[in-house]
Structure 1
Amino acid sequence: MYDMGTRKRARNGCARPCPRCHDTPGEPDDPAAYAYLLGLYLGDGYISPHRRRGVHSLRIACADAWPGLIDACADAMRAVRPDNKVCRVRSQGCQYVTSWSKHWPCLFPQHGSGKKHERKIALASWQQEIVDAHPWEFIRGLIHSDGCRTTNWTTRLIAGEMKRYEYPRYFFTNRSADIIRLFTATLDAVGVDWKVANSRNISVARKASVALMDLHVGPKH
């Protein structure tokens, strides 16, 4: 909930200064929320100019099937830029969680023309420091945007009889090789085993690693 200072700044048409535009740049408000929002942005987000000069909109596409994800995305946007309004724009099968600010390009320097998988995606040093400090939030954002937790099954011969065996697995799917590398490097940092399912898919299936993912990420809801 906004405090009185936030309301006053909003009425006056000014938000708190951008943490990246200072003479001595610092971290965004709530670095953990930023790490999560960064993961969402790299998966299903984009930044575009608004008709108001200098203002940009940050939009994250969230499927209607996951209302908890929609709420978490909106909460993260508010935590990162507390003075900026967050709204939800309905579209077929999804909602675009949207916020306007002059400073979204400062906070997400990966912004640029063209599709993410067709251009270089790399974290700035200050972003990497935040991801290093909050790796699970970053992983959670990536999974919530372009991943899933699913149950696979196979058959095994047990006591001479073929029986069905089910096991949980996480998948992450992205067309950008750079974003996949960011995901797998962060998995390495937290001790999660993974393997390449194909050129666009990363699988986490080992029991101990799935348990770690369940503890810190969990299924979308």
Structure 2
Amino acid sequence: MYDVGTRKQALALVSQGLSLNSVSRQTGVSRAAIRSWRTRLEPLSPRSEPCPRCSETPRDPDDPPAYAYLLGLYLGDGCISPAPRGVYFLRVACSDAWPGLIDACAEAMRSARPDNKVFRVPRQGCQNVTCHSKHWPCLFPQHGPGKKHEREIALEPWQQRIVEAHPWDFVKGLIHSDGCRITNWTTRIIGGERKRYEYPRYFFTNKSDDIRALFTDTLDRLGVEWTHCTRAGKPYNISVARRASVALMDAHVGPKY
């Protein structure tokens, strides 16, 4: 027999994405026991806070700016996957190059489901920031079978209301997931001499027409000018290069960190 602490430790490692073999080696618990614990129905912890969207009177998430940011991250590099016992995992892939982004993503997940643990699962060159909850499909109704760019993506009225109230948080989430701030350069003839000229610009790249439209519609409301940049003849890239618009983006989004 194993004590409750050992059981919780083993299941926490499994929830981080580790294999049964790996967890068994780390904890000394047999794979059969771990597999049995995963399939049992009784909860290991007190019931978490009710989902704001599942209550008798559905309400918005408690931290709308954090939700708008997390929505942007999810639409870019996030996915929701089913797990045993009706639980779902929300995963957002974050590059190791941006530790501040990883922290911000974890904090936004924690705001959405404060009673659920947030894990950081290392992968080559990135970390999957992960949190389990039965209510991720309630909070992100865009979840569905197949790739996001192969199905319709539309915001629910309550999500649209949050995005309109906190547009910069939404834009920041999208840029942090599928965007970047870079420095472009070109050359100009000045006084008969060719000189190098550098200027910053933002890019957002996503295969989904719907997700790109959510991004550009929000930029329009914010007064940010943008253009399409085609890739292989397809308008996957959105560019923000006008000086005043880049200044707006710098003031509210800025480079990844």
Tell me, yes or no, whether TM beats 0.5.
Answer: yes
How far apart, in 2, do the equivalents of 1:32 and 1:131 lie? 8
Asked if residue 130 in structure 1 is aligned to residue 162 in structure 2, the reply is yes
Q: Which runs of 5+ in 2 are unaligned?
A: 1-42
Q: Partner of 1:177 in structure 2?
A: 209
2:252 counterpart of 1:219: no
Shift of 1:162: 1.3
2:106 to 71, 74, 80: 74
Structure 1 residue 29: deviation in Å?
1.8
Aligned mate of 1:43, from 76, 95, 112: 76
C-alpha separation between the residues in 2 aligned to 1:44 and 1:13? 31
How far apart are 1:11 and its partner, in Å? 7.1
Would you say the 8 A contact 1:61–1:94 is kept in 2?
A: yes
Q: Which has the higher contact order (CA 8 A, sep 6+)?
A: 1
What amino acid sits opposite 1:220 in the alignment?
A: K
Q: What's the TM-score once normalised by structure 1's chain length?
A: 0.94
In 2, are the aligned partners of 1:40 and 1:145 still within 8 Å (CA)?
A: yes
**Number of aligned residues:** 211
1:116 partner letter = K
For 1:168, the aligned partner's letter is P
Distance 1:98 1:79 in 2: 13
1:22 is aligned to 55
Q: Over residues 73-111 of structure 1, what are the superposed CA-to-partner deviations in whole Å (9 max), with x where a residue is unaligned?
A: 000001111111101011111100000001000000000
1:208 corresponds to 2:244: yes
Q: Which runs of 4+ in 1 moved over 2 A?
A: 10-13
In the TM superposition, 1:51-130 aligns within 5 A as 51=84, 53-130=85-162
Q: 1:32 aligns with which of 47, 53, 65?
A: 65
CA distance in 1, matches of 2:90, 2:44: 21
Unaligned 5+ runs, structure 1: 1-9
Could you report, residue by residue, the CA deviation over 1:165-196 in whole angstroms, capped at 9, with x for unpaired residues? 00000000000000000000000111100000
The residue number in structure 2 matching 1:139 is 171
Worse-matched range after superposition: 210-219 or 22-31: 22-31
Normalised to the residue count of structure 2, the TM-score between the two structures is 0.81
User: Which structure's CA Rg is the greater one?
Assistant: 2
